[in-house]
Structure 1
Amino acid sequence: MPWSFPIARLFGSELRVHATFFLILIWIGWIGYNQGGAPAAVENLLFILALFACVVAHEYGHALMARRYGIRTPDITLLPIGGLARLERMPEKPAQEIAVALAGPAVNIVIWAVLMLALGGQAAPMDGVLSSEGSLSGFLARLAGLNLFLAVFNMLPAFPMDGGRVLRAALATRMGRVRATELAAMAGRTLAFGLGFLGLMSGNPVLILIAVFIFIAAGAEAQDVSMRALSKRFSARDAMITSYEFLGPDDTLHSAGQALIRTTQHEFPVLDTSGRPMGLLTRQSILASVGDPAATMTRMSALELAPLPCIPLKAPLVDLLDLMHQKNAAAVAVCAPDQRVLGYVTRENLGELMILHSRDTV
């Protein structure tokens, strides 16, 4: 994910933090400082870090359950509104999807139960979770209350919540997976509108941020499932771009800039002298060199290029989608048996293919 950086590797998955995560730390620290000065600010920061440790445990619950079904989780990213486990794919068998979805909230329930036992059954009210009182029991009581809230909130039957995945899996036993996803996504958008309205009325920017995330994620999930359903009918050959310009190892960023102006491409495959893929040069990388004469003379062979994985010409398009997701790649090269590039596929032209054949997916 852009704007994120790795901080650790646990249980085979890279743990990453998004740059915007520090915004919530600043906000929570400021609330504490206004309430009780520096000690309250420090306590609030420790509390939010403890809470996000529970969020990480929640995401690893999903990841470890998915691993039981042979699905890897390349990375888990901490965002201001929670965590995001990037699974290679979601299991399409309803029972497996339900198990993966429930594993996350189950972790929060376990944490809540352990803390409640330690506290003798007393949890803090939800309206006081950011009220610092300086005691360890108060700290743990607030943490217990929020873990229970996380479990309940995540079980709301709407995408992209875990409850939405359970709903989709249950519906998929009675109808097509695409239609089941559309209904769960519709529930997600309805929830987003409700949270957004509540956030506007109460002046709570976090609720508005969560609403925007839910709305976008619900739509993205519906589009992804529709695309996967459609892709099972096509091969990589059917989606690849065959009319394009490429760059060689000795081409410079300056020549790439000229190609950007000359063509309508937003990315350029970089091929070695044998026509095999070295990587992908993106429009952002080209524009980032503007204003630096030395950088514009940098050759492709000296650049850190975006990944450009290779897939056979006759490979099913669904395999291409999986490879794109696994490698977190913006494009996939379509290659001959000797690895020479015959064309490439981007997310954009996959979307165009889906639009052209959208009436075929039911």
Structure 2
Amino acid sequence: MLWSIPVGRIAGTVVRIHVTFLLLLVWIGAAQWQRGGREAAIDGVLFIVLLFACVLAHEFGHILTARHYGIRTPEVTLWPIGGIASLERIPDKPREELIVALAGPAVNVAIAVVLILALGARLSGAAMAEMDNPHAGLIARIAAANIILVLFNLIPAFPMDGGRVLRALLAMRMNHVAATRLAARIGQGAAFVFALVGLFVNPMLIIIGLFVYLAATAESQHVAFQDATRGLPLRSVMMSSVETLSTSSTLNDAVDLMLRTSQKEFPVVDGSGRPQGLLTREGLIMALHQGGPATPVLGAMTRDVPTALDRQPFDTAVALLNKAKAPALLVVDDAQKLVGLLTPENIGEMMMVRSVRPDWRFYGRRSYLPGPIGTSRE
């Protein structure tokens, strides 16, 4: 993830810290220093570090529970507004999503119980209302913060935990797409409330509201897109008109191809039409800088590029592309000859069409818009 720093690996999941989180620590330290000097600054930074350790534990509640259902989580990132675990997919069954969503807040409940019962934390009004008040006691403030995390995360604002709980409960009574749409609308409404309250209470709520609104919208569009393309073979939605380079091509040939087409990724194929790699526009520019126009593309192309059969399901191909984090997916036929290309940009364009016209459906090589005269578009 851009601007994030890997700091370790826990149970197979890479833990990253976004640079804005480090800026938050600096800002907290400076603000507390002005307020109470060196000791206040140390206390303020320590509180934030411990608080986000609890947030990380919260995310691993989700991660380890999801792993129980066969869902991997390559990485988790800490942001100033909280943690984001990058699950490979959302659980298919509503009951599983419900359990995964509740696992995070359950961790915070456990932490609060341990701090109160085992370590003797005493919750006071100062601890609950003034998290930055060192006189309230560090352990008491951490316990209070965990209780607030539970209450805040369970607000039914999709895609927060409470919103996912809401969708799981709705999905037990209606189809997944309708449940997501309703949960997303509720989340968007909650986002406006966050922003409004943030104008008078805390500007951070405005940022959280914006994040919730955008995430809820994106999730709703993504689920609708998945529903529209479910069961389609990859050949129906791939880019079938693709310019290629041969294994004997040079960077000069690639430049000519780049200038006369709108492609950004160029498959490199052998004499039989079988893909050998992929030359990206960024790779081309870098190779030109390091070598010259006569340099063979074989030395500049990326060889580790995922491939998929054109008859494979589209959603399987998208999952493969996302997992590989590759610039494109090479689509081949049963003879392993290149027949198409699938790129994140290609998928994004299809999703934009769906966002403008939710009734758009893909059938074969045609896309249809239902209407009074059954208009079809190539």
Question: Structure 1 length normalisation: TM-score?
Answer: 0.86
Q: CA deviation at 1:323?
A: 1.7
Q: Return the letter of the residue paired with 2:311.
A: K
Aligned equivalent of 2:325? 328
Q: Counterparts of 1:295-310 in structure 2 under 5 Å? A: 308-310=305-307
Q: CA deviation at 1:61?
A: 0.7
Which protein has greater RCO, CA pairs closer than 8 Å, 6+ apart? 1
Aligned equivalent of 2:86? 86
Aligned equivalent of 2:133? 131
Structure 1 gaps, min length 5: none
Deviates more, 1:331-340 or 1:3-12: 331-340
Q: CA deviation at 1:196?
A: 1.3
1: CA distance, partners of 2:246 / 2:347: 25
How has the CA–CA distance of structure 1 residues 161 and 303 changed in structure 2, closer, same or farther, with 3 Å as cutoff?
farther
2: CA distance, partners of 1:29 / 1:214: 28
Matched, 1:231 2:233: no
How has the CA–CA distance of structure 1 residues 87 and 258 changed in structure 2, closer, same or farther, with 3 Å as cutoff?
same
Q: Counterparts of 1:206-221 in structure 2 under 5 Å? A: 206-221=204-219
SS of corresponding position for 2:17: strand
SS of corresponding position for 2:242: coil
Aligned equivalent of 2:67? 67
Q: Return the letter of the residue paired with 2:101.
A: A
Q: Return the letter of the residue paired with 1:245.
A: E
2: CA distance, partners of 1:31 / 1:71: 41
2: CA distance, partners of 1:31 / 1:89: 40
Q: Among all aligned residue pairs of Structure 1 and Structure 2, give the percentage whose two residues are the same amino acid.
A: 41
1:272-304 deviation per Cα after TM superposition (whole angstroms, max 9, x unaligned): 647425356256x677x59x9447878765669
Aligned equivalent of 1:179? 178
How has the CA–CA distance of structure 1 residues 282 and 49 changed in structure 2, closer, same or farther, with 3 Å as cutoff?
farther
How has the CA–CA distance of structure 1 residues 273 and 157 changed in structure 2, closer, same or farther, with 3 Å as cutoff?
same
Aligned equivalent of 2:346? 349
1:45-93 deviation per Cα after TM superposition (whole angstroms, max 9, x unaligned): 2211111111111111111111111111111111221111111111121
How has the CA–CA distance of structure 1 residues 152 and 279 changed in structure 2, closer, same or farther, with 3 Å as cutoff?
farther
Q: CA deviation at 1:248?
A: 6.3
Residues 236 and 315, structure 1, Cα contact 8 Å, conserved in 2: yes
SS of corresponding position for 2:312: coil
Residues 332 and 344, structure 1, Cα contact 8 Å, conserved in 2: yes
Structure 2 gaps, min length 5: 362-378
Q: Return the letter of the residue paired with 1:213.
A: F
1:189-223 deviation per Cα after TM superposition (whole angstroms, max 9, x unaligned): 11111111222234x33222211111111111111
How has the CA–CA distance of structure 1 residues 244 and 142 changed in structure 2, closer, same or farther, with 3 Å as cutoff?
same
Q: CA deviation at 1:318?
A: 1.5
1: CA distance, partners of 2:112 / 2:300: 48
Q: CA deviation at 1:167?
A: 0.8
Q: CA deviation at 1:344?
A: 1.3
Q: CA deviation at 1:255?
A: 6.6
How has the CA–CA distance of structure 1 residues 350 and 33 changed in structure 2, closer, same or farther, with 3 Å as cutoff?
same
Q: CA deviation at 1:19?
A: 2.4
Q: CA deviation at 1:258?
A: 5.7
Q: CA deviation at 1:41?
A: 1.8
Residues 116 and 144, structure 1, Cα contact 8 Å, conserved in 2: yes
Q: CA deviation at 1:17?
A: 1.9
How has the CA–CA distance of structure 1 residues 206 and 300 changed in structure 2, closer, same or farther, with 3 Å as cutoff?
farther
Deviates more, 1:309-318 or 1:40-49: 40-49
2: CA distance, partners of 1:70 / 1:337: 30
How has the CA–CA distance of structure 1 residues 186 and 45 changed in structure 2, closer, same or farther, with 3 Å as cutoff?
same
2: CA distance, partners of 1:46 / 1:303: 48
Q: Counterparts of 1:111-130 in structure 2 under 5 Å? A: 111-124=111-124, 125-130=127-132
1: CA distance, partners of 2:305 / 2:143: 45
SS of corresponding position for 1:342: strand
How has the CA–CA distance of structure 1 residues 161 and 239 changed in structure 2, closer, same or farther, with 3 Å as cutoff?
same
Number of positions where the alignment pairs a residue of Structure 1 with one of Structure 2: 352
Aligned equivalent of 1:77? 77
How has the CA–CA distance of structure 1 residues 200 and 20 changed in structure 2, closer, same or farther, with 3 Å as cutoff?
same
Q: CA deviation at 1:20?
A: 2.3
1: CA distance, partners of 2:16 / 2:304: 19
Residues 233 and 311, structure 2, Cα contact 8 Å, conserved in 1: yes
Aligned equivalent of 2:311? 314
2: CA distance, partners of 1:20 / 1:104: 23
Question: Structure 2 length normalisation: TM-score?
Answer: 0.83
What is the RMSD of the two structures over their aligned residues, measured on CA atoms?
Answer: 2.9
Residues 279 and 301, structure 2, Cα contact 8 Å, conserved in 1: no
1:244 equivalent among 236, 242, 245: 242
Residues 245 and 268, structure 1, Cα contact 8 Å, conserved in 2: no
2: CA distance, partners of 1:248 / 1:35: 66
Q: Return the letter of the residue paired with 2:338.
A: V
Aligned equivalent of 1:193? 192
How has the CA–CA distance of structure 1 residues 121 and 323 changed in structure 2, closer, same or farther, with 3 Å as cutoff?
same
SS of corresponding position for 2:359: helix
